[in-house]
Amino acid sequence: MIVIYHNPNCSKSRESLEILETTKEDIQMIKYLDHTLGSEKLSKIIKLLKIRPIELIRQNEILWKENFKHLEFTDEELVEVMCKYPQLIERPIIINGDKAVIGRPPTKILDVL
């Protein structure tokens, strides 16, 4: 089963979902703004993505710029910030087994199919 952490208000997220729907795979869609991720789950996703937590943060978001950009954080603290403010999480995130990718651009999804 393919899992997509999705924000229906995001055009890249919608485009990624469209690509996934063309496959014959089962898809589990998680609207991560409605069902926030815990720190353990988010840490596992970051490991699957093979990135550092700062790379999953939408650093151009006003919330980040006004409240966090000027501060120093450990990786664990960044995970906690994303858990508390999920709108800062880059989207969409697609997971297929032990492979994961951020769907920017949406064609990156093909790397995990």
Tokens for 53, please give them. Answer: 């937590």
Q: What is the pLDDT of residue 24?
A: 83
**The CATH fold of domain 2-112:** Glutaredoxin (3.40.30)
Q: What is the pLDDT of residue 36?
A: 85
Q: Would you say how long the chain is, in residues?
A: 113
Q: Active-site residues: which are they? A: 10
List all residues 6 or more positions away from 69 whose beta carbon is below 8 Å from its beta carbon: 59
CA-CA-CA-CA torsion sign (79, 12, 5, 96): negative
Each residue of 29-85: pLDDT tens digit? 999 999 889 999 999 999 999 999 999 999 999 999 999 999 999 999 999 999 999
Report how far residue 99's alpha carbon sits from residue 103's, in angstroms, rounded to the nearest whole number.
13
Cα-Cα-Cα-Cα torsion 30, 36, 37, 38, nearest 10 degrees, comes to -150
